[in-house]
Structure 1
């Protein structure tokens, strides 16, 4: 059950980043999606979704690798 919960926790930011890429792509081609009234707003939301989704996923991986001792010394919290 814990693995399923961890999978869901990682699935949500991955879907969020994917939606951000889609919003950015649609803005590039000039296609406006219905909840957004302007293309520039769609672009800003797309960038935010992409950064938040990838940032969460990267932070999770960094935290997991720190626990297992697989990071470079400059990324290790204990060395400071």
Structure 2
């Protein structure tokens, strides 16, 4: 039972940033769509929703960055990454002559 609960919590740690990134993407899309839909109308001067757009960028970057970092560190732990991303080991000391 304890393993089931811990796996559920681990899934929530990935679902919450994923939903955050989706909401951020939708905010970006809505801000751009509203701007371009008003752009064709001559009677209305188009106003860009900067606050909604920047909030969407922030939410998308935070969610995608968390998931990307989680995948990167998991792959680093399992040794799936390229040699330049592997953890650096200290050099052994030089033998004294």
User: Is the TM-score greater than 0.5?
Assistant: yes
Distance 1:78 1:8 in 2: 32
TM-score (norm 2): 0.70
What is the total number of aligned residue pairs between the two structures? 74
Unpaired segments ≥5 residues, structure 1: 32-37
Unpaired segments ≥5 residues, structure 2: 36-47, 91-97
Shift, 1:77, TM fit: 1.8
Give the counterpart of 2:60 among 50, 70, 74.
50
Structure 1 residues 55 and 10, CA gap change in structure 2 (3 angstroms): same
CA shift digits 1:5-48 (9 cap, x unpaired)? 110000010000000110001001117xxxxxx71000000000
Alignment of 1:1-80 (within 5 A): 1-30=5-34, 39-78=49-88
Following TM superposition, where does structure 1 have runs of at least 4 consecutive aligned residues deviating by more than 2 angstroms? none
